[in-house]
Amino acid sequence: MDAILFFPLHGLDNSRNSFLVAGSSSEEILKIFLRTGLKPEFPGNGQEFLLRAVKRGNIEMANYFWELGAELNKDWGLETCFSDPMPDYDGICCQFADSLTEYQNPNMAPLLLEKIDVDKIIERKDLRAMQFVMQGAAAGGYEDLLRRLLVVDWPEKYTTDSDAWLQHLSLCLSKAVDNGLISIVQLLLENGANADGVRLSFIEEMLPVNIFPIVRAIRQENIEMVELLLENDANPNPPEMLFLNNAFGECTSKSGTSDTMLQIIQLLVDRDCLAGPRSNAQSVLTSQSVKGGEKVFDIVRCHIGAELAPENSDHQRALFNAARLGEKGIMKRFFDARLDPNIVQHSGHSLLLIAAESDQCPVETLESTVSFILDHGANIDAKNPETGMTSLLTLCSLNSSTGFLCTWSDPAEAKKRATKLLLKKGADPFIVCSANEFPLAKVARQDEPDMVKIFLEHFKQEDTPFKKIKNMIEEAMSVSPNAETRKNLCRFYWPRVYPTSPR
């Protein structure tokens, strides 16, 4: 470290000396410079170096740069929905907001706030600076500061449209909800903020992050916040949700529903707002409720008031969901209501196959789920009436290199696991498809050597007579494009065709 002292003292260009290059990023190096008493001149106003310290949340470094005269008062080209009556606003207000939102450095906020002249902002009607200070106050729980800014009566005059100020308040509300600040949210609601947060069309680029406040509150399992938002007319099923969860969807987005989440679901039930007004909204409730487990499923069933029926497509879809999630208690309710355990999806997947290939429940529960379905009358070799294929044939027809119906992170591994499970449970590998092709030939044709090995190992373990599988092996060798696969098949085949004579 002593070598560092050589550079700032020996003729380097001041704008690129070691202090400005290293001192702004390393606290240890900064302390070395502090001991020397060095006070270099900043290029420009030193904003670059001060901003770096602020973003890192390094209070000591930021203070040092301030003492050296660095400033945060430059407009970085940030666009705002408000007009700009005073163009030379103080950029430190933006950093105050960002320290509590984007950078998540709350310890830096009090220091930044000390540098903000709130009276000057109000006096000069600096709306853009005020906007950032309010966002920081809302996110950080600075209630007194927020109240002080909310009593100002001029902001509406400088907005570009009639409700821009209310949209800004709604943005502040979303930030307060994120941090669970009940009193701040209540204050903003009293001053006109929308309990649904910012309108998506207000700032289009917010779409990826504009999770509605009630969904944010549910995600935090903050039942008090959820109640407050609902009491202030928050819509748990806003039409702009697009691909985002509505309130009930968020409640059932994770396995294992907590007691708090059950209370939130009951709040939605009590207000009859589990689903929105869309034509298919009610129809998906039963299927969606499966994700929450047995208790949620029963709450929703009781709320809807409909008996489970074998011919109901919504109930059939819910049964497939239960199989995928390994919810045996829910499946039993369907089987007791006489839903067919041999039911097949439009995709051609049977209930057994959905359970065996699932990626949405622990691997260790897959076998018990498949066994449960078999115990309730499923035929493991039942054929799809449209394709004529069994579950094993359907699985072997799927090309794991191009992905499966489910969103597996490793589809090839999932396919192998499901194949082993179906074979273990008694699936017949000798049933052919309508094209007279065996399951083994299908995986050989698709260049899946690991799948071929699974079948060969199965035949060894079951001590299957060679004459029964001879034609199947020959077919697989003839269609496989993979030399390694053909070699493995030959190693299995030839010793059985020409067994070595004992000496």
Residue 29 included in any domain: yes
Residue 266 pLDDT greater than 60, yes or no: yes
Q: What's the pLDDT score for residue 463?
A: 94
**What tens digit of pLDDT does each residue of 271-285 get?**
998 886 664 566 788
The arithmetic mean of pLDDT across residues 172-190, rounded, is 95
Q: What integer pLDDT is reported at residue 49 of this predicted model? A: 72
Q: Is 267 part of a structural domain of the chain?
A: no
Nearest of 335, 285, 343 to residue 314 by alpha carbon: 285
Domain for residue 23, yes or no? yes
Q: Is residue 202 part of a domain?
A: no
**Do the beta carbons of residue 342 and residue 320 sit within 8 Å?**
no
Q: Are 272 and 310 in contact (CB under 8 A)?
A: no
In a domain, 34, yes or no: yes
Inform me whether the pLDDT recorded for 130 exceeds 80. yes
d(CA 30, CA 34): 6
Residue 40: band (very low, low, confident or very high) from pLDDT cuts 50, 70, 90: low
Backbone angles phi, psi at 82, to 5 degrees: -95, 155
Q: Is residue 30 part of a domain?
A: yes
Nearest C-alpha neighbor of 324 from the set 393, 259, 373, 256: 373
Domain contains 15:
yes
Strand partners, 350: 344
pLDDT of residue 15: 43
Q: How confident is the model at residue 339 (pLDDT cuts 50, 70, 90)?
A: very high
The 3-state secondary structure of 439-483 reads: HHHHHHHCCCHHHHHHHHHHHHHCCCCHHHHHHHHHHHHHHCCCH
How many domains does one find in the chain? 1
42, part of any domain: yes
Q: What is the predicted pLDDT for the residue at 335? A: 97
Domain interval for residue 29: 2-67
358 pLDDT above the threshold of 80: yes
Q: Does residue 155 have a pLDDT over 80?
A: no
How many Cβ atoms sit within 10 Å of the Cβ of residue 260?
Answer: 14
pLDDT band at 243 (very low <50, low <70, confident <90, very high): very low
What is the tens place of the pLDDT at every residue in 394-430?
Answer: 999 987 665 454 555 678 888 999 999 999 999 999 9
Give CA–CA dist 241/196, Å, rounded.
Answer: 11
The CA distance from 342 to 324, in Å, is 15
Contact 470, 461 (CB under 8 A): no
Question: Which residues sit opposite 344 in a β-bridge?
Answer: 350
Q: What is the predicted pLDDT for the residue at 268? A: 94
pLDDT in tens, 428-469: 999 999 899 999 999 999 989 999 999 999 999 999 999 999
pLDDT at position 38, please?
Answer: 64
| pLDDT tier at 19, thresholds 50, 70, 90 | low
Model pLDDT, residue 410:
79
96 vs 135: CA distance, rounded Å = 9
